[in-house]
Structure 1
Amino acid sequence: MRISQAGADDVPELARLLWLDSLHEEPAQPSIDAFTAELARWWEAHRDSHLAFVARLRRPEIVGMAWVALVPRVPRPEATRRLSADIQSVFVVPDQRGQGIGSALVEAASEHAAHLGALRVTVQSGRRAVPVYERLGFESSRQLLQRSAG
């Protein structure tokens, strides 16, 4: 398995994985071609704040992805360049799960965010994945609160 940062050439494969990941959620989806074009436009506009990491086996096909959103924080007198990061859209194709691919992707994205100076890396997880994130060093925090926008 090879983990690398995704590039613009990977957009069709990233779109395919995002498409597969959302099949159970979205009853009326645009065509995969329309979604690929939309993802390319979106990523072009957000490439400085959203990075994708991908996993490949021996074939060139991407079998997993993890995105990290980088969020600049308000400067403080003692720290004028503050950054937080959020892991998003982690997905591994079903027939490749259970082999550590998702964990390797999250580690790569988290380490890259730390290298860029992120003070913390967060993730919003489904229940089944919580133990995986805990094994990777994520902890629940009483200080991190959320409120529904609706």
Structure 2
Amino acid sequence: MRISQANADDVADLARLLWRDTLNEEPAQQSVDAFAADVAQWWTAHQHSHVAFVARLLRPEIVGMAWVALLPRVPRPGATSRLSADIQSVFVLPEHRGQGIGSALVEAASEHATRRESLRVTVHSGRKAVRVYERLGFESSRQLLYRPAR
């Protein structure tokens, strides 16, 4: 397995994985090719705040992904360039799960955030993945709250 930071050549494959990841959640509103075009535009606009990591096996196709959003925080005296990081859209093709690919992707995204001096790395996990994130060192926090959209 090879984990690397995605580049512009990977955007169409990333879009296909995002498409597959949400296919069971809601009915498709557009074709995968139209979605790939939208993701390409989004990539161009957000490539400085969002970084994707991809997993490849022996073949060149991507079998998994993990994104990390680097979010600027309000400055504090003596700390004017604070960042937080949020792991997003971790997905491994079903036929490749259970091999440590997702964990390796999350580790790569987390290490990238740490190298950028992020104060913390968060993740909004589905219930099934909570134990995986805990095994990787993530902890639950009573201080991290959310308010659902109304």
TM-score range, shorter chain: over 0.9
Unmatched 5+ stretches in structure 1? none
Query: Within 5 A, what are the aligned runs for 1:102-113?
Result: 102-113=102-113
Q: Distance in 2 between matches of 1:128 and 1:108?
A: 21
State the number of aligned residues: 150
Unmatched 5+ stretches in structure 2? none
Q: Distance in 1 between matches of 2:133 and 2:116?
A: 21
The alignment-based identity, stated in percent, is 77
TM-score by length of 1: 0.98
Q: Structure 1 residue 79: deviation in Å?
A: 1.2
TM-score by length of 2: 0.98
Q: Where has structure 1 moved over 3 Å in runs of 4 or more?
A: none
Query: Within 5 A, what are the aligned runs for 1:109-128?
Result: 109-128=109-128
Q: Structure 1 residue 131: deviation in Å?
A: 0.2
Q: Structure 1 residue 80: deviation in Å?
A: 1.3
Deviations 1:94-146 (A, max 9, x none): 00000000000000000001100101000000111000000000000011111
- Name 2:49's counterpart in structure 1: 49
Q: Distance in 2 between matches of 1:29 and 1:57?
A: 31
Q: Distance in 2 between matches of 1:16 and 1:92?
A: 12
- Name 1:74's counterpart in structure 2: 74
- Name 1:129's counterpart in structure 2: 129
Code of the residue aligned with 1:97 in structure 2: it is R
Deviations 1:7-40 (A, max 9, x none): 0000111011011101101213211110000000
SS of aligned partner of 2:142: coil
